[in-house]
């Protein structure tokens, strides 16, 4: 949170790095590419996403 960053920025960045850096080089897989392939074939589709916090 912004409050935690203000209180302890060094620790914040240490935690941030441990949590998010492992995904820095993540690549899409077949499931991510499937909607694009379907659209290229002329298929109409709807994509519904959900963010869980």
Count of the separate structural domains present in the chain: 1
25 domain-assigned: yes
13 domain-assigned: yes
- Domain encompassing residue 7: 2-40
33 domain-assigned: yes
53 domain-assigned: no
48 domain-assigned: no
49 domain-assigned: no
Name the residue with tokens 């519904």: 48
20 domain-assigned: yes
Task: Give the CA count within 13 Å in the CB-facing half-sphere of 48.
Answer: 0
Q: How much is the pTM?
A: 0.48
26 domain-assigned: yes
Distance (Å, rounded) from C-alpha 19 to C-alpha 29? 21
pLDDT tens, position by position, 17-31: 999 998 899 999 999
The mean of the pLDDT values for the chain is 92
């Amino acid at each position: 949170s912004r409050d935690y960053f203000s209180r302890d920025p060094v620790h914040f960045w240490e935690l941030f790095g441990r949590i998010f850096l492992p995904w820095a080089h993540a690549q899409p897989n077949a499931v991510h590419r499937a909607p694009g392939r379907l659209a290229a074939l002329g298929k109409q589709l709807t994509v519904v996403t959900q963010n869980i916090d």
